[in-house]
Structure 1
Amino acid sequence: MSISYMDFTQPNVEFFFDLNKNRLFTRNNENFINSLGRNNLNTLGNVSLFDIFLSKDRIIEPHYHQNASELVYCISGSAVVSLINPFTNKVSHIPITPGQVANIPQGWWHWEIATKEKTHLLAIFDAPYPESILGSDLLTKTPTEVLAYAYCLDPNQLKKTLAPLNNETILIGPTDNCLKQPKNTNIEQPSIPMTNYHPYYNAVQNPYYYGGGH
């Protein structure tokens, strides 16, 4: 790939970078993301990537990339990649296992859920600096009064509902505090199995569930 911005005769040309030294986000020791962009490796060109590590049932929260498409490659474990087609409003749930990929077009709302422990995903972008709009940021950065007025909601109830987010960017959810709460008192941690709570898991049994599949 030709890199027009790069002068390969300069002494600062870089051909190596250790992703382990560039943490993007940490939920805990088993759930974190490392990243690589042109600011880390100046010969990279118009590409970047996220190195994603997840434990079972953890989710990369709903989001979209306004400047890049995303190719999700499964290295180990397994996951379900879900996306919404903005032209049809159809939701697709695509299960991937090692060696398989799911492609997410630029600007499409999507999320990923790990279905096995020690899941390792590689998200590759066709932009040197992928931009992201995250669901938690939309909810917490928009004034509660505006959300309540726009959607005819009770502002006090809405504030109570959003309070557990604590104005935090979630990225990898659920939060550890959510998982520590008793299952019978938290709507986000129901007593029924996760396979029933999240319909995306049906994609593991049926690859064409909601339009997913290969």
Structure 2
Amino acid sequence: MSISYMDYTSPSTQFTYDLSNNQSFKKNDQNFINELSIKQLNTLGNVSLLDIYLSTGNIVEPHIHQNASELVYGISGSAIVSLINPFTNQLLNYPIQPSQVVNIPQGWWHYEIASTDNTHLLAIFDAPIPETIFGSDILRLTPANVLAHSYCLDEAKVKDTLAPIKQTVVIGPPSDCNQTQSQMKPTAMQHVNQMYINPGYQYHGYYNPMYSQQYPY
């Protein structure tokens, strides 16, 4: 149990806050994240949250929270919450609808893809501030020669592949991506639908719903 040293008699004590005043990321009017931490509400204690809005095919990019576990709660719409179990090296895909939750242990690699428009998720953390390491930052900040040497890859191809990632993505694909929802192959969307219908469904490949390519493990 956390111990509070808050002076509740102080005139600066805060008991309420409007999350719309702290938008941590916005891709467009349908895809954005509001954040609440102890920085906005000083009586919070050991809890914080992200208020996530997504439209079909948009993804909260792969990332980890190094300081907290995360409970994802479905408010509206639907999404697939995917995580890698580091103890089994399995990619797990869990559909989520309103009133359903998915728990992500601290430090586990995960991401969320919206299955429908007007998807609204609440991510609740057991830490006063949610800390995040995004996959886009790992890819763009790790030198291409290190990645090429580590995994026996062609350095020039690594540079060319990662060149478009110039900043933290957060909600992907980036707005300037030249791939569109209409270019998605029907068979690829079927994999997302299968993950939504059957939580135990395991697609043997990495699939980004906004792209038509499929990449085998």
Task: Return the TM-score normalized by structure 1.
Answer: 0.88
1:135-188 deviation digits (Å, cap 9, x = unpaired): 1000001111211122221111111111121x211110011222x4478xxxxx
Contact 1:82–1:200 (CA under 8 A) maintained in structure 2: no
User: Residues 93 and 181 of structure 1: is their aligned pair in 2 closer, same or farther, counting only changes over 3 Å?
Assistant: closer
Residue 214 of structure 2 is matched in structure 1 by: none
RMSD: 2.0
User: Residues 191 and 83 of structure 1: is their aligned pair in 2 closer, same or farther, counting only changes over 3 Å?
Assistant: closer
Residue 208 of structure 2 is matched in structure 1 by: none
Most deviating of 152-161 and 108-117: 152-161
CA distance, structure 2, for counterparts of residue 191 and residue 99 of structure 1 = 29
Report the number of matched residues. Answer: 203
| Unmatched tracts of structure 1, length 5 or more | 184-188
What secondary structure is seen at the aligned counterpart in 1 of 2:188? helix
Q: Compare the two structures and name the one with the higher helix fraction.
A: 1
CA distance, structure 2, for counterparts of residue 112 and residue 198 of structure 1 = 17
Residue 186 of structure 1 is matched in structure 2 by: none
Residue 210 of structure 2 is matched in structure 1 by: none
| Unmatched tracts of structure 2, length 5 or more | 203-217
Q: Among residues 163, 178, 185, which one is paired with 1:192 in the alignment?
A: 185
Contact 2:95–2:197 (CA under 8 A) maintained in structure 1: no
Residue 175 of structure 2 is matched in structure 1 by: 176
1:96-155 deviation digits (Å, cap 9, x = unpaired): 101111000011110000000010000000001111111100000111121112222111
What secondary structure is seen at the aligned counterpart in 2 of 1:164? coil
Residue 203 of structure 1 is matched in structure 2 by: 195
Contact 2:64–2:134 (CA under 8 A) maintained in structure 1: yes
Q: Sequence identity, in percent?
A: 58
User: Residues 90 and 181 of structure 1: is their aligned pair in 2 closer, same or farther, counting only changes over 3 Å?
Assistant: closer
Residue 71 of structure 1 is matched in structure 2 by: 71
Residue 107 of structure 1 is matched in structure 2 by: 107
- Measure how far apart 1:3 and its partner are: 4.6
